[in-house]
Amino acid sequence: MKKCCDSLEEAIKIKCKCISRIANEMMLSEINYPTPLMVQAQQEFSQFVFEQLSCFIGFQDDRGWTALMFAVDNYNIHAVNFLISEQGKINDWGFTALAMCCYSCFEEAVHILIGEHMILDVNNVSIAQQAIKNGHFDVLITLYDLLGKECLENRDKLGRDVFAYAAYQGQEQIIQFISDKISRKNDLFGRSYIYYFSLGRIDRGDFSNYDMDREVLLQ
């Protein structure tokens, strides 16, 4: 392993260098993204996090991201394994690495992180709700296999459960899956799932097949 950086400032400079390379290429090219150079810059920084760990313990960028967040975001399973025992498992928004795995559909890391019991963020949003929020059905199944029915029973600080998240996103396959596992008709404050279904449609400006999709929630 390479010698660790002497300062956090040096670590930030190297990160900025990667970002600068990406920015320069974006200005010079109109081809599809990500380009090989952008991918290389990502990989270089991910490897840098892995090799220069001591500079990043407790480090957070302006978004509150930690080294572990970067490792997960770059799909670097070796860095995830290496960093998992370190501090910095949660960012300023309470977004854990496990939540990010579910958000990014990174199933391999889900298996590693699940043992860390990082189930809820500061808004009481569960990892299952993070997966549903982004339509990652495979990740939801993985979580259910690992945690059982417990992973579907959480409500966030606004009283929303997995049904509310799935209804808002219009995730019919997920709704059918969780309907076989738990039985609910309303959130913690009595709001129906039809309400979340309609709210999601309005927010997305999507009114196609409304009546047909609505029937899924009425079953």
Per-block average pLDDT, block size 10, for the chain (219 residues)?
42 52 47 52 53 44 59 60 48 51 57 50 74 83 80 86 88 88 80 80 66 49
Q: Is residue 201 part of a domain?
A: yes
Q: Is residue 208 part of a domain?
A: yes
pLDDT of residue 115: 47
pLDDT of residue 175: 87
Residues spanned by the domain of 171: 158-219
Q: Is residue 191 part of a domain?
A: yes
Q: Is residue 163 part of a domain?
A: yes
pTM above 0.75, yes or no: no
Q: Is residue 100 part of a domain?
A: no
Q: Is residue 211 part of a domain?
A: yes
State the DSSP code for 126.
Answer: B
Q: Is residue 143 part of a domain?
A: no
CB 163 within 8 A of CB 192: no
168, 123, 134, 132: which is closest to 152 by C-alpha? 132
Please state, in angstroms and rounded to a whole number, the distance separating the CA atoms of residues 92 and 68.
13
* CATH code of the domain containing 199: 1.25.40
Classify 192 as helix, strand or coil: strand
Neighbours of 195 (CB within 10 A): 16
Per the rule left: phi > 0, alpha: psi between -120 and 50, beta: everything else, 16 is alpha
Counting the structural domains of the chain, the total is 1
User: Of all helices (H) and strands (E), which one includes residue 172?
Assistant: helix 172-179
pLDDT of residue 18: 54
Q: Is residue 147 part of a domain?
A: no
